[in-house]
Structure 1
Amino acid sequence: MKKLVMLIPDILNSKGNVRIWSAGCSNGAEPFTLAILISELFGDNYPDSVDILATDIDPDNNFEDFFRYGIYDKDRLNRIPEDVCRKYFHGNEDNSGNVVLNDSIIERVEFMRHDLLSGNLPGGFFDIIICKNVLLHFNESEQSEIVSLIYNSMNDNGLFVTEQTHRLPDEWDDHFVRIFPDARIYRKFSEI
């Protein structure tokens, strides 16, 4: 994710804004981590021109409260450096052992219910689309449908990020180029 964040200043310099979609975001850990990394990169100058949309189908209404209140089990943060935890999280008032994400990060991420198999774009076009630990839950045909939706939701030269262990469906190999040998970050080919 750090490699991806390091590309954001270049996109800002060339376009003036960055639209990011975290597709299949579950409880928001990924888009909130992204917002924290962007905050770390820019410090007090977090650009207002970076928009993060987080979507999930959320059929049981499990995730919306994470985006509204940012309450997480403290044990889930064990991979985050202690100084980063102190900077972006604080204790929950109910003394439950949970931690609460700072409003400054919660406000950076918009949550919306969206079904990746609906064929509907979630609104506008994106410069970066993250779809990690999602495609492996679908069969090959559904994966291809989702990658098609993602491709059609991307701006020219947009970036697509998948989990490290997942390959793109074969029919999509010539639509993207992998830009790092050690990360599944792909750039969209604008002309096929």
Structure 2
Amino acid sequence: MTAEEFIKLRDFIYRKTGIYFEERKKYYVESRVEDRIKATGHDNFRSYFTWLRFDVTGKELQELINALTVNETYFFREYYQLKCFAEEILPEIVEKKSSIRVWSAGCSTGEEPYTLAIIMEEMLEGISGVTWEVHATDINTEVIEKAEVGLYSQRSVRLVPEEYKMRYFVAKGEFYEIVPEVKKKVKFYQLNLMDATAMRKMSGFDVIFCRNVLIYFDDASRRQVALYFYEALTEGGYIFLGHSESMSRITPIFKLRRFKNAFVYQK
């Protein structure tokens, strides 16, 4: 792929998804595009890109996005944030309402939303009248399918406390499967964070986790997604970003809350 071809493809993906690949990512993008060129029977980039742009079904664009957006994750990642969610934020929410909705945006293969479901099961069990649900979205359809299966390697569950592993997983050979009681609490579906129509349907969430996702967007796309998140949250709702991310660099509309265990942004 020439530098000019890379820019054409990068700009096309950006317009469709808001995801921006810098020049230093050229080799990463190129290797995955080569795989798609071979898989679709094209002879060169020009032929493939022309077909990609005019494919009205959108299927190949989705396949390409799937190939470009696979990220490693694991259960109980960035534990201090989860501790804040469990011990400080959930009690605040329960004081005000009995129905709690949490959204894992950029959920990848499901480790984060299932972790949140385990935490909520533990923290809210026995509190009369409280109901909750976790919504989990990703632009990548392949990771959504894996998440719905809920089968994980030992590497993925390495930080899960042993008592939780016994309670919420079933050993399947070298793998661990999420128990049905937790699976049914998490709703997975595909979502493009730059799809204005779809994003405006996302509403009524008390907490959003969007960790290490916005780093793949440019400044303009980050601001737009942050506005969508703001509208999706209930009044006083919370949003968690990755430890190296800062909402204040994106937009001033959220206020920063200092909790004992973490910093969290609030509507």
State TM-score, norm by structure 1: 0.86
Partner of 1:4: 85
In 2, the alpha carbon distance for the partners of 1:46 and 1:104 equals 18
Aligned residue for 2:236? 157
Is the CA contact 1:2–1:37 (under 8 Å) kept in the aligned structure 2?
Answer: no
Residues in 1 aligned to 2:201 and 2:146: alpha-carbon distance in whole angstroms: 20
Contact 2:222 2:250 in 1 (8 A): no
AA of the residue aligned to 2:166: R
2:117 counterpart of 1:35: yes
Name the structure where helix makes up a greater proportion of residues.
Answer: 2
Contact conserved, 1:39 with 1:46, CA < 8 A, in 2? no
Q: Residue 184 of structure 2 corresponds to which residue in structure 1? A: 107
Distance verdict in 2 for CA 1:106–1:48, change over 3 Å: farther
- Cα 1:46/1:82, change in 2 over 3 Å: farther
Q: Alpha-carbon deviation of 1:169?
A: 4.9
Query: Is the partner of 1:12 in helix, strand or coil?
Result: helix
Percent of matched pairs sharing the same residue:
26
Using the TM superposition, give the Cα deviation of residue 181 of structure 1 relative to its aligned residue in structure 2, in angstroms.
Answer: 6.8
Show CA shifts across 1:33-66 (max 9, x none). Answer: 011111222345596621211011114x232232
Preserved contact between residue 57 and residue 114 of structure 1 (Cα < 8 Å): yes
Tell me, yes or no, if structure 1 residue 56 matches structure 2 residue 133.
Answer: no
Question: Matched residue pairs, number?
Answer: 183
The 3 A distance-change label for structure 1 pair 66 and 170 is closer
Residue type at the aligned position of 1:168: M
Alignment of 1:1-192 (within 5 A): 1-6=82-87, 7-43=89-125, 49-59=131-141, 61-67=142-148, 69-92=149-172, 95=173, 97-119=174-196, 120-170=199-249, 172-180=251-259, 183-188=262-267
On the 8 A contact 2:135/2:188 being kept in 1, the answer is yes
Counterparts of 2:223 and 2:191, CA distance in 1: 17
The Cα shift of 1:10 comes to 2.7
Q: Which structure has the highest strand share of the two?
A: 1
Structure 2 unaligned runs (5+)? 1-81
Structure 1 residues 142, 181: closer, same or farther in 2, change over 3 A? farther
Structure of larger gyration radius: 2
In 2: Cα distance, 1:99 partner to 1:46 partner: 31
Q: Which amino acid aligns with 2:147?
A: F
Structure 1 unmatched ranges of 5 or more: none
How does the TM-score come out when normalised to structure 2?
A: 0.63
